[in-house]
Amino acid sequence: MKKRSNRGFSLVCCLLLLLLLCAGVTGFLSSTGLHRSAARQSLAKSVARSAAESAAAQAASLLAEKIAAAPDSATGWQRIRTPGTEDFYFEGTVLHLHPQASGAGPLVLPLVSRPDSSGDLLEEIPSSSGVQCLGMEPWTSANSVNLNRPLFRGDQQGWIGSPETSVQRPHPFRARWIELRSPQGAPPPPISARYAFWMEDESFRLHLNRIQRMPDDGTATTFKPPTMERGPEPHSPGIGPEEIPMLGLLAGMRSIRPTDRGPLAVELLTLRNAFPSGTIPEIRSFNYARSGRDQVLVGDGLRFLGTLSSSALNLSRHGTQRVNLNAALGLEEKEMDWTLYAPPTAVLQRQHRRLVETIRFHAPRFGQRFYRTTSDPDRESVTSAHQEVYLNKIAANIQDLIDPDLQPTLVDSAGHIVPPGRPEAPLNADAPDGHWAQGKDSTPCLQEAVVRLRSEASNSRYKLRVDYYLEFWNPTDRDIYVCVQPSLNEPHSVGPETFVKVSNQPAWISTPSGTPLRSTRPGGQAPVQSPARDIVIDLCSGVYAQGKPVPGGVCFRAGHATVITTDPDYLKPPEQKKLSPGFSGGYNLENIYFCSKLLKGTREYEGPIGPRGTAGIKPDFRDNTEDYDTEVLLGNLRGLLDSHPAAVAMGGGARVTRPGQSRDDWYGGSLLGNGITPSQTGDPRTNNEALRYTRFLPGASTTQPDQGRYFNTVSAPRFSLGHPNDTHTNPHLQHPWPDPYKGWNRTSTGTAKNPRIAPARVANGWTGADGRFRTGIPSIGLLGDVFDPARKSGTRGSLGIEGSRGGGRTLRIGQPDDLVRGSEPRAASREWAAWRMVDFFATRSQIELPGVLNLNGISRDNGFALRALCHGLSLNLEAQASRALEPTTGLRPLATQLPLDHAGPGLHRIIRDAIELLGSRGPYTGCFRERGEWSELPAFAADSETLFEGTRTSIVFDHAREELFRRTVELLTTRGNVFTVYCVGQAIVPPKSPTASIQILAEHWLKTTFALLPMKADGSPFGFATEDFNPDSPESVARRFTAPDYYDIRSLARSEP
């Protein structure tokens, strides 16, 4: 039997053992591989996330650093292509840096990731062409990425959102990849990751939780229902973005039928109010509006246009916090009893100086507006003394515009506020105690004066009676009384014991040797100012109107001329005819008050007549040679209300020398709106101008300059006291002023006199719709109502000074300033533009202003946001004073309101103008640097008809023509402080060859919204809640006007789609 071999058994055993070993090893290897794979995946994910986080952090820190270094930077919206690329370009937010110290040109910094050749981020891009802004080679699909990716299938908007006009859905917003190299590996280390970011200023968008938001302070009655457009004041005073109507938002959405907008606006507001605190948590919440009519998801349509987090900082271009005017003047917007407003002089002094120092810090050459002696607008020609005077005048005018009393602020020649007290003498340019400023308050202004001299001789004595007709104009929209009226709760009383004082009455000669009443000769000598020649007229008691006593005293009716007379015969027809014979019906008796009581002096004089008629009595007005500073003063126990120091009386006169002789002479004069010589323009240190007397002589020659100017119709006396057509200014004032300040009328024909071109003061507190009286100003645009004492060099006189009543108009805030040469970006004159003041003054102290709109984003959405902001605004062409004037002028009224329709041509032109301005190479170079530059829009120019179709802006009352600015300026900014950065990070394996493709291991998307908050070096928040700095301490001023030391980055929202 053949024995079988067993050797195979061992082999099988060995194989089995090896198999088992292999299985074990395979298990280990598999486990290890899985571990490695999981670890790699996790690592790649972490790398991608880190890259995205790095992008967000880098974007935020870059922005914070740049803005801290350049506080006057602004953001704009720009599209930049590199050469040779059509489909790949940058479009988005750019930061315009304006280095102040170096004087270099503006730098443009696109807020997007962009490497230069060294791999570092570009720091500054000195280019306005845009091409260099993106750095290196053209953008391609390989080196850039579209960050506006759809969030879900069918998403037409994308992560960022898409403009309505875009043909690509979603609209591409691209950013450059920044490649990151691995920390390990042989040099050069391999690229292991990359990121990209794209950043946007949220203030380009409409804040959906702010628009048409009911106020929380119980004043909801001031807001109209959501279905209605905004109305005239006080419904929309221009306080904040809460006034933007929801209808304005919907009106710009083409996908919504016009008929659906009203109901939908109601639904949206109702929907929003249903959410906690009345705020929607996401833009898409608006999708729940029952918009089934159009099947439109409103929320999704607003992804590009709306935001839930936007704000701007209340900082000036210097980076300092704007000075809250209301706080600086102790008049935070609050309820108060205006009759108790009487701060101590020291307090007023400090408040006044705060304003002066604020202007001086931010615009050191602002005083170059005053008394200019050169026609070159960019040349400095004003002395430091005049500059100082100007700052004080402006500060006084601001104080008087805002404070609730009607008492003008008086600043002496040392810059000190004059303490309250009964004034003894008007301001006088020649007096040693001349004043720097008399503020323009809402007081009646003297604009025409007539003196009547009746003389008669009997036996050897003469009798002389002197009477006055003094016409005051109330340029405000409130009736002004001399006594407080219990039924009125707004400032309406000019104060206690109001009186009119006429000092230095015209002298007369009674004997060859003269009398103590005779004046000295003019020619620079000081006026006599003899108290014996002064009279003081009581306006409070002994007052009659149309023959009946007026117990309450004189009332200066709003917008009307009111005449104060001491002549008891003023009602007699002959006198009426003499006063205004050219007008049927004589003067307006309703507004003439006979004031019978003299507090001082007398109207009647008596004295001997010289022998043989060698002496008699006559007013000593020798033709054009005598200059008696007859001065008129309106005052009360607290001080001056109005003052005219140079009421010049000129002209000869006959005498009564024999018994039985009598004369009745009338001399009159009007506001000297424009001087022929500097000495006749009034005291440049005050807001006053000269008041020139001219004797009326029937048939007088027109060659006399005074008569030619004032009474050019010589066939009849043309006084016009109180005449209905003379409600605001002398209708005979026909001088064609070359003065760009225009005054109240610049027509050369003298035919088109329109009361609406006159200035007005309207602040001094106001009563809201709730009936409560408040102080402070709600909108900084109201600074446009401040009288501007600026005077411009001209061709006349030794100094070439031209001027008029306090400059004749208000500050040009809300319309182009003629002192500015607009075409030069860095023109010196732009430093003393009037609109600069709204950059460093504000009406509130909060450091963040939520919901305001960035004007520079107008090309981003083709004006959508601005249209919404302006939607429904009705421009009140007859604002304030002119409204009061209208019933008596009888002139054809302009349209009482001009609604700015969303799609209307007026608003369309404004937006077109703005886009063109921003695209030009003018002073803007892509962005407005400060909100005041909004004033320079061509639509606001005097020769424009954009705002008021068919009506030139030049004939529209200042307050009305600047109304759009005033009602929008608080809602506008030029740079926000809330930004959203869209980031993507990728962990990658770079291609092995040029033809190979990149391998993406992991990807992470991140969107963060953050705010830049100004901080102090010690880590505390930057900001000044009160304006209590000491203006006389340089250290205190310096502390107040510091810029933030740095900006803290506060994250507001974050999401990872």
Partner 1 sequence: MNLLPAGFTLVETLVAVVLTLVLAGLMTRTVSDASALWRLHSARLDTFSEARAALQKISRDLASAQAFPEATRDMAVLCIRPHPQKAADAPPGLEFTLLAQTPASGQSDIRAVGYFCAWDSTLNGPVLRRQTAPAAATAEALRNLRPEEAHFFPWNLLPRDAPSEVLAQFAWDLRVQTPGPTGAPEPAGGLSFNRELPRWIEIRFKAVSPSALNSVGAFPQNALAWQTGPLGWGGSPLQRLLLRHTREFATRIPLVP
Interaction site with partner 1 (CB under 8 A): 3, 6, 10, 13, 17, 20-21, 23-24, 27-28, 30-31, 34-35, 38, 42, 45, 151-155, 209, 216, 271, 274-279, 281-282, 284-285, 287-288, 297, 299, 308-309, 850, 1006, 1050-1057
Residue with Cβ nearer partner 1 (472 or 1005): 1005
Task: Return the number of other C-beta atoms located less than 10 Å from residue 558's C-beta.
Answer: 20
Secondary structure (3-state) at 412: strand
CB of 1015 vs partner 1, minimal distance in Å: 15
Q: Which is nearer to partner 1, 25 or 1017 (CB)?
A: 25
User: Closest distance between partner 1 and the C-beta of residue 246, in Å?
Assistant: 17
Task: For the CB of residue 846, give the shortest distance to partner 1 in the complex, in Å.
Answer: 14
User: What's the token pair of residue 911?
Assistant: 């937006």
49 token code pair: 């996330």
Least separation, in Å, of the C-beta of 856 and partner 1?
24
Query: 84 vs 278, which CB is nearer to partner 1?
Result: 278
247 phi, psi to nearest 5 deg: -60, -35
Residue 464 near residue 452, CB atoms below 8 Å: no
Q: Given the complex with partner 1, which of 153 and 548 has the nearer CB atom?
A: 153
Residue closer to partner 1 by CB (options 28, 137) is: 28
Is the Cβ of residue 77 or residue 286 nearer to partner 1 in the bound state?
286
Q: Which is nearer to partner 1, 281 or 890 (CB)?
A: 281
Residue 34 CB, nearest approach to partner 1 (Å):
6
Which C-beta is closer to partner 1: that of 21 or that of 752?
21
First CA to last CA distance, the chain = 83
Q: Which is nearer to partner 1, 284 or 422 (CB)?
A: 284
Tell me if residue 708 falls in helix, strand or coil.
helix
Tell me how far apart the alpha carbons of residues 215 and 237 are, in angstroms, rounded to a whole number: 13
Indicate the residue among 284 and 622 with the shorter CB distance to partner 1. Answer: 284
Residue number with CB closer to partner 1 (610 or 850): 850
Residue 591: CB minimum distance to partner 1, A: 52
Torsion, Cα of 281, 283, 287, 293 (10° steps):
140
Least separation in angstroms between CB 1008 and partner 1: 9
CB of 4 to partner 1, least distance (A): 10
Q: What does the alpha-carbon distance between residue 949 and residue 789 come to, in Å, rounded to a whole number?
A: 31
Q: How far is the CB of 1044 from partner 1 (least distance, A)?
A: 19
- Minimum Å gap between C-beta 226 and partner 1 is 17
- Residue with smaller CB distance to partner 1, 8 or 771: 8
Q: Which residues lie below 8 Å from residue 767, measured CB to CB, with a gap of 6+?
A: 489, 490, 773, 774
In the bound state with partner 1, the residue whose beta carbon lies nearer, of 6 and 487, is 6
Smallest CA-to-CA distance from 112 within 48, 28, 213, 201 is with 201
- Cα–Cα distance for residue pair 40/270, rounded to 1 Å: 51
Rounded least distance, CB 32 to partner 1, Å = 9
CB of 175 to partner 1, least distance (A): 20
Nearer to partner 1, 53 or 831 (CB): 53
Sign (positive or negative) of CA dihedral 749, 750, 756, 759: positive
DSSP helix/strand/coil, 40: helix
Is residue 782 within 8 A of residue 962, CB to CB? The reply is no
Q: What angle do CA 58, 63, 69 make, to 5 degrees?
A: 125
Q: Closest separation between CB of residue 1005 and partner 1, Å?
A: 10
Q: Pick from 277, 269, 319, 275: which is nearest to 298 by CA?
A: 269
Smallest distance from partner 1 to CB 301, Å: 12
Reduced to 3 DSSP states, what percent helix, strand and coil does the chain have, rounded to the nearest 5?
Answer: 25, 20, 50
How far apart (Å, rounded) are the C-alpha atoms in residues 338 and 764?
9
Query: Is 907 or 1006 the residue whose CB approaches partner 1 more closely?
Result: 1006
Going by DSSP bridges, is the β-strand pair 323-324/841-842 parallel, antiparallel, or unpaired?
parallel
Contacts of 290 (CB under 8 A, 6+ apart): 267
Q: Provide the Cα torsion 935, 941, 945, 949; round to 10°.
A: 30
The CB-based long-range contact list for 347-352 (8 Å cut-off, 24+ gap) reads 348/399, 348/409, 348/417, 349/416, 349/417, 350/1030, 350/1031, 350/1032, 351/399, 352/392, 352/395, 352/396, 352/399, 352/409, 352/411, 352/417
CB of 203 to partner 1, least distance (A): 15
**Whole-Å CA distances, 727 to 185, 406, 600, 617, 960:** 89, 21, 30, 36, 19
Select from 403, 398, 442 the least CA-distant residue to 813. 398
Helix (H, G, I), strand (E, B) or coil at 1020: coil
Is 792:812 a contact under the CB 8 Å cutoff? no
Minimal distance in Å, beta carbon 5 to partner 1? 8
| CB of 66 or CB of 205, closer to partner 1 | 205
Cα dihedral across residues 440, 444, 449, 455: positive or negative: negative
Q: Which CB, 375 or 1051, lies closer to partner 1? A: 1051
CB of 277 to partner 1, least distance (A): 4
The secondary structure of residue 737, as a DSSP letter, is -
In angstroms, what is the minimal distance from the CB of 164 to partner 1? 20
Q: How many other C-beta atoms lie within 10 A of the C-beta of residue 808?
A: 27
Q: Which is nearer to partner 1, 4 or 992 (CB)?
A: 4
* Side-chain half-sphere CA neighbours of 492 within 13 A: 23
> Tokens 């009443």 — which residue?
517
* CA-closest candidate to residue 524, choices 662, 646, 377: 646
Alpha-helix residue ranges (DSSP H) falling in 156-257:
246-251
**d(C-alpha 193, C-alpha 1002), whole Å:** 9
For residue 526, give the DSSP letter. Answer: P
